[in-house]
Amino acid sequence: MTAVGIDAIEIWTGNLKLDLPGTFAPQKGEDPEKYTKGLGLHASSFPDSYEDIVTMGANAAHRLMERKGLEPDDIGRIDVATESAFDNSKPVSTYVAGCLEQVFEGDFHHANKGERKFACIAGTQSLDDAYNWIKAGRNRGRGALVIATDTALYARGDAGEATQGAGAVAMYIDEDPDLVELSAEQGYGSADETDFLKPNQQFPSVDGKRSVQVYLARMREALEDYEQVAGDVHPDDFAYAPFHTPFPGMVRKAALLAYRHVIRDTSIEDELADEIGRQPRPEAFDDDEAYHDALRDYMDSLKETDRYQEWYDATIDPTLSISRNVGNWYTGSVHVARISALKQALEDGRDMTGETLLVGSYGSGAQAEIHAETVQSGWEDEIEALNVDEQLEERYDLEWADYEEIHDAHNHDVDSDVEEFTTPESEFVFDGWGRMGERKYRYVD
Ligand SMILES: CC(C)(COP(=O)([O-])OP(=O)([O-])OC[C@H]1O[C@@H](n2cnc3c(N)ncnc32)[C@H](O)[C@@H]1OP(=O)([O-])[O-])[C@@H](O)C(=O)NCCC(=O)NCCSC(=O)C[C@@](C)(O)CC(=O)[O-]
């Protein structure tokens, strides 16, 4: 069977940055360590006044197409995953195609375009659509462009304001991919939940504490479902586990639960038994409460073991390095985590070809999905070609007053006219409104 997966990937961060411990925490009267140690966040990315989900998505796709020498004719689908769309009918992918047609010869008239919505998991669902389209043989030798782009803003004063972010990830899905092959096996955990939603409103209604619990519950279901099709997962089976990362502290919680689950009935549980005992089993308890108390105690002890900490440092921590500095990119977040891990592997000189990634996506509302990816032999060139560090370094560092202005500039209910903080260069920019209320874009050399 032909391998199908991600051939190339590019990211585009919003051009502005908010320093969370340095600028945000003091204004909130909070300890900076709530951000750096608690949430695990140092900074978030924001779009400048001329940026939005279209410019960020088109800029990431432009870089990707140029680098891979792709022409519009090579692309048979453009799927955009976003939960920040500004139009209930015309998909963002049409705007992105319009942008790209300004800089490439040819057009995308024969490409199928769409938009996917299911909170943050829509990016992974778009990968599925592309994978299925290619596997079904309907692609006529062409690949799919998948773009995950979001401006994750919360209402001012909402607890979620700490976890904002903005950026896009563009991926080219093709046969015989250079980066990773996607597994056919997938596991799902899905339920009708009311934890985070935007009922025809720009900023989310969110029950933050509950959203954390729902994330953990759905991820666990997805892992169990994945094991039904792929067999039991063992920690030695995968090199990294990139997870949806609304903030690194969320993944810290998920990783501990996942580790407990995957070491159950393995030699690792046996080896740890002298130090912390064996995992509690429900049948040994008279009631649920006693079982859950025992489970919590076991997890507290597990977290402190060298064995767990070494696993966490090697397998999870490398997936969080970009997220720490950009915040939540919603649909792009798990794809940023994959890049972080592979970037760390490259910096460590690790040979990743043939290694497995266990990828956990999540979207509020709520659904989790787990699948595996096999790293391909072209991965080093793909990751080496990224300019993530330069992009992050070049962001304009917002003062508090700037932050207030730029939040207003992107608030659909506020009529504000904010000067740009950065000067666009070799990128698409928002260029005003058309006669039917459409957004217009232009490429700035
Ligand atoms: C995440 C919350 C709830 C945090 O809400 P909060 O009330 O601002 O923060 P907190 O008081 O819970 O503190 C956060 C952590 O910092 C710690 N802390 C506190 N102070 C200190 C200190 N001085 N030194 C060290 N640590 C400190 C504190 O103990 C805690 O750690 P924990 O106990 O949870 O491990 C909020 O930011 C929020 O509502 N965020 C938005 C929702 C969200 O991100 N949920 C995540 C799961 S849902 C999801 O991932 C989906 C999503 C959001 O991406 C949307 C989609 O799918 O489309």
**Residue to substitute in 195, 196, 209, 326 for testing ligand 1 pocket (most ligand atoms within 8 angstroms of CB):** 196
Q: Is residue 376 pLDDT above 90, yes or no? A: yes
Does the pTM surpass 0.80? The reply is yes
User: Is pLDDT above 90 for 1?
Assistant: no
**Closest ligand 1 atom to Cα of 38:** 16
- Domain positions in the chain are 4-444
First to last CA, the chain: 43
Q: What pLDDT digit, counting tens, does each position of 43-101 carry?
A: 999 999 999 999 999 999 999 999 999 999 999 999 999 999 999 999 999 999 999 99
pLDDT of residue 318: 98
Residues with Cβ within 8 Å of 356's Cβ and at least 6 positions away in sequence, in order, are 237, 238, 239, 372, 373, 374, 375
Q: What pLDDT score does 417 carry?
A: 85
ipTM over 0.85? The verdict is yes
Q: Is residue 416 very low, low, confident or very high in pLDDT (cuts 50, 70, 90)?
A: confident
The whole-number pLDDT of residue 184 equals 98
Q: What is the pLDDT of residues 93-143, one digit of tens each?
A: 999 999 999 999 999 999 999 999 999 999 999 999 999 999 999 999 999
Query: How far does the centroid of ligand 1 lie from the alpha carbon of residue 199, in Å?
Result: 22
Cα 207 from Cα 211, distance rounded (Å): 6
For residue 51, indicate whether it is catalytic: no
Tell me the angle at which helices 267-276 and 248-263 cross, rounded to the nearest 10 degrees. 100
- CA neighbor of 171 nearest in space, from 284, 60, 36, 51: 60
Contact 82, 125 (CB under 8 A): no
Kindly report the average pLDDT of the chain as a whole number: 97
Which residues does 199 contact at the CB level (< 8 Å), separation at least 6?
205
**Percentage of residues in the chain with pLDDT exceeding 90?**
98
Which letter, b or e, does each residue of 398-420 get, where b requires 16 or more Cβ atoms within 10 Å of its Cβ? beeebbebbbbbbeeeeeeebeb
Ligand 1 contacts (CB < 6 A) are: 31, 33-34, 37-39, 83, 119-120, 159-160, 162-163, 196, 206, 208-209, 211-212, 215, 244, 246-247, 249-250, 328, 330, 362-364
Q: What per-residue confidence (pLDDT) applies to 311?
A: 98
For the domain 4-444, what is the CATH superfamily, name and number?
Answer: Thiolase/Chalcone synthase (3.40.47.10)
Q: Are 90 and 96 in contact (CB under 8 A)?
A: no
Could you give the residue ranges of the DSSP H alpha helices within 348-421? 379-384, 388-394, 400-409
Other residues' Cβ atoms within 10 Å of the Cβ of residue 47: 24
Q: Quick check: is 427 catalytic?
A: no
Please report which residue ranges of 235-327 form alpha helices under DSSP H.
248-263, 267-276, 288-304, 306-315, 323-326
